[in-house]
C-alpha cells in the first residue's frame, strides 16, 4: 500500500481537485485523474519530504474557525489603519522576537501561514538553532502582548496537532 | 431588478479594481527599492485575477476562471523567483 | 447581463454585496501600498486583497454560476486554496529578501541577524 500510494491524504486532495477542475465525476475523469494522482504521488515520494504525523484532529475545526474570525477582524483593523485620516504619525510598527517551543516543520509552516495570512502580521524569519521567530507587526503597542497571543492562541493548539 | 442591480455592482467593482491596479502601478513606478516594486507586481497580479473573475460574472461564461487561475499560478512563481533573485542575485543555485 | 435575468433577487443582492466588498478591500489594500511609509509596513497592505478580498469575489462567483447553471460550480475553491497556500509563502520570501538586503547595507532600522550584535546599529 505504502509503495503504490506513499501519501494517501495528499493523493486524495489531488484527485478531488482534479474532479472539481474538470467539473464532472464521470468514470473517464476519475480514471484520468487517478493516473495523474499516481504520477504526482510518485513524483512527491522521490522528493522524500518529512512525513507529518497528525495527532488530535479534534482541535482542527476550532482552529480553522478562529483563523477565519481573526482574518476578518484584522482585515477590518488594517483597513481602518490605512484609511485613518489622522495620518500615519502616531502608530508604531516594528519587529518582535518570539521564542517558540514548537520544532515540527509542518507545525511551523502552519503557524507561518496563519500569521502571514492575517493582515497586520508577517512572519519574517526563523532561527532553527535557537527557535526564535521574527515577526513584523503593523500596529505594535506592546511586544510582550504579541508573544502571548502567538504562543497561547496558535502555537499551543498547533503543537497539539503536529507534535 | 436583479439584472440592473448586478450590472451596477459589476461596473462599480470593475472600476474599484482598476483603481486598485492603478495604485499598484504607481507604487511599481515609484519604487523606491526593488522589493517595493516586486510587492507592487504581486498586488497587480492578484487584482488582475479578481478583475478577470468579475469579468466572468459580467459575461456569464466560466472561461475567464481559467485565465484567473493561470494568473495566480504565474504570479506566485514570478514573485517567488524575484524574491530569490533579490536575496541571492541569482534564481537557480 | 441579460443572462442574469433568471437570477432571484436575493441572490443578486448577495452577489452584488460580496463583489463590492471584495473589490473595496482590494482597493484599500492597494491604496495602502501608496499610503504606508516603509517597505515593512507596505508588506501588510496587499494581504487585505489576497485574503478576504479575493475570498468574497470567489464566493460571489460560485454562488452566481451555481444558480445560473443550476448545478454546483465549485472550481473557484481551487483559486482559494491556491491563494491560501501561496500568499504567505510569497510575502515571507519577499520580507526575508528585504531583510537580507537591509542587513547587508547595515540599515539601522532592522534587527541584526540572530547571534550577531552590530557595533554601529541601534539595538531594538
Q: pLDDT tens for residues A44-88?
A: 888 877 776 777 778 888 888 999 999 999 998 888 888 877 766
- A139 is a domain residue: yes
Which pLDDT score is estimated for C122?
44
> Which is more confidently placed, A115 or A57?
A115
Question: Which stretches does DSSP call E strand in chain B?
Answer: none
Q: Which residue has the cell 497592505?
A: C45
Confidence of residue A7 (pLDDT cuts 50, 70, 90): confident
- A107 is a domain residue: yes
**What residue spans define the domains of chain B?**
2-88
Confidence of residue C121 (pLDDT cuts 50, 70, 90): very low
Q: pLDDT tens for residues C57-77?
A: 999 998 888 888 888 888 888
Judge if A62 and A41 occupy the same domain.
no
Judge if A103 and A157 occupy the same domain.
yes
Judge if A64 and A19 occupy the same domain.
no
Confidence of residue B58 (pLDDT cuts 50, 70, 90): confident
Contacts C49 to B, Cβ<8 Å: 20, 43, 46-47, 50
pLDDT for residue B60 is more than 90: no
Judge if A144 and A74 occupy the same domain.
yes
Judge if A36 and A62 occupy the same domain.
no
How far apart are alpha carbons A78 and C44 in whole angstroms?
8
Which pLDDT score is estimated for B71?
92
The total number of structural domains that make up chain A: 2
Judge if A89 and A144 occupy the same domain.
yes
pLDDT for residue C120 is more than 60: no
Cell reading at C90? 510569497
| Residues in chain B, overall count | 93
C-contacting residues of B 45-64, CB under 8 Å? 46-47, 49-50, 53-54, 56-58, 60, 62
Which pLDDT score is estimated for A95?
86
Confidence of residue B34 (pLDDT cuts 50, 70, 90): confident
- A3 is a domain residue: no
Nearest chain B Cα distance for residue C99, angstroms: 9
Which pLDDT score is estimated for B93?
57
User: Mutate which of A19, A26, A78 to disrupt the C interface (most C C-beta within 10 Å)?
Assistant: A78
Interface membership of A7 toward C (CB under 8 Å): no
Burial of A92 (0-12, 13-18, 19+ CB in 10 A): exposed
Q: pLDDT tens for residues A129-156?
A: 888 888 888 888 888 888 888 888 888 8
Q: What is the mean pLDDT of residues B58-85?
A: 89
Q: Which of A96, A104, A97, A118 is nearest to A157 (CA)?
A: A104
Which pLDDT score is estimated for C102?
82
Name the closest residue on chain C to residue B15, using Cα atoms. Answer: C23
Of B19, B42, B49, the CB nearest to C90: B42
Name the closest residue on chain A to residue C34, using Cα atoms. Answer: A82
Interface membership of A130 toward C (CB under 8 Å): yes
Confidence of residue B44 (pLDDT cuts 50, 70, 90): very high
Strands of the A132-137 sheet, one edge to the other = A94-99, A132-137, A121-127
What is the ipTM for the molecules in this complex? 0.86
How far apart are alpha carbons A13 and A39 in whole angstroms?
14
Average pLDDT of every residue of chain C: 82
Confidence of residue C26 (pLDDT cuts 50, 70, 90): very high
Which pLDDT score is estimated for C1?
60
Of C36, C51, C92, the CB nearest to A75: C51
What CATH number belongs to B2-88?
Answer: 1.10.287
- A64 is a domain residue: yes
* Domain residue limits at A83: 57-162
Interface membership of B11 toward C (CB under 8 Å): no
- A149 is a domain residue: yes
Amino acid at each position: 500500500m505504502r509503495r503504490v500510494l506513499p501519501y494517501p491524504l495528499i493523493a486524495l486532495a489531488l484527485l478531488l481537485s482534479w474532479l472539481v477542475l474538470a467539473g464532472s465525476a464521470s468514470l473517464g475523469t476519475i480514471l484520468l485523474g487517478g493516473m495523474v494522482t499516481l504520477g504526482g504521488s510518485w513524483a512527491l515520494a522521490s522528493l522524500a519530504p518529512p512525513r507529518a504525523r497528525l495527532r488530535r484532529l479534534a482541535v482542527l475545526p476550532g482552529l480553522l474557525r478562529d483563523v477565519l474570525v481573526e482574518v476578518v477582524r484584522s482585515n477590518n483593523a488594517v483597513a481602518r489603519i490605512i484609511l485613518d485620516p489622522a495620518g500615519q504619525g502616531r502608530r508604531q510598527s516594528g519587529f518582535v522576537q518570539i521564542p517558540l517551543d514548537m520544532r515540527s516543520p509542518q507545525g511551523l509552516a502552519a503557524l507561518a501561514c496563519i500569521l502571514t495570512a492575517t493582515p497586520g502580521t508577517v512572519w519574517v524569519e526563523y532561527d532553527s538553532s535557537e527557535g526564535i521567530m521574527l515577526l513584523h507587526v503593523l500596529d505594535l503597542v506592546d511586544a510582550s502582548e504579541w508573544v502571548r497571543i502567538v504562543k497561547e492562541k496558535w502555537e499551543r493548539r498547533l503543537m497539539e496537532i503536529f507534535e | 431588478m436583479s439584472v440592473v442591480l448586478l450590472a451596477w455592482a459589476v461596473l462599480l467593482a470593475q472600476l474599484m479594481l482598476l483603481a486598485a491596479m492603478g495604485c499598484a502601478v504607481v507604487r511599481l513606478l515609484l519604487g523606491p527599492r526593488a522589493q517595493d516594486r516586486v510587492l507592487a507586481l504581486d498586488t497587480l497580479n492578484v487584482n488582475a485575477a479578481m478583475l478577470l473573475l468579475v469579468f466572468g460574472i459580467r459575461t456569464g461564461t466560466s472561461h475567464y476562471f481559467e485565465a484567473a487561475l493561470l494568473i495566480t499560478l504565474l504570479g506566485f512563481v514570478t514573485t517567488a523567483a524575484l524574491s530569490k533573485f533579490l536575496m541571492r542575485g541569482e534564481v537557480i543555485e | 447581463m441579460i443572462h442574469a435575468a433568471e437570477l432571484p433577487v436575493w441572490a443578486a443582492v448577495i452577489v452584488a454585496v460580496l463583489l463590492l466588498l471584495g473589490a473595496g478591500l482590494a482597493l484599500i489594500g492597494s491604496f495602502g501600498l501608496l499610503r504606508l511609509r516603509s517597505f515593512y509596513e507596505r508588506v501588510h497592505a496587499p494581504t487585505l486583497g489576497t485574503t478576504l478580498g479575493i475570498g468574497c469575489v470567489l464566493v460571489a462567483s460560485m454562488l452566481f454560476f451555481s444558480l445560473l447553471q443550476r448545478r454546483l460550480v465549485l472550481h473557484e475553491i481551487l483559486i482559494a486554496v491556491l491563494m491560501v497556500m501561496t500568499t504567505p509563502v510569497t510575502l515571507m520570501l519577499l520580507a526575508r529578501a528585504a531583510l537580507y538586503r537591509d542587513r547587508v547595507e547595515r540599515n539601522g532600522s532592522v534587527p541584526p541577524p540572530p547571534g550577531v550584535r552590530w557595533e554601529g546599529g541601534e539595538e531594538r
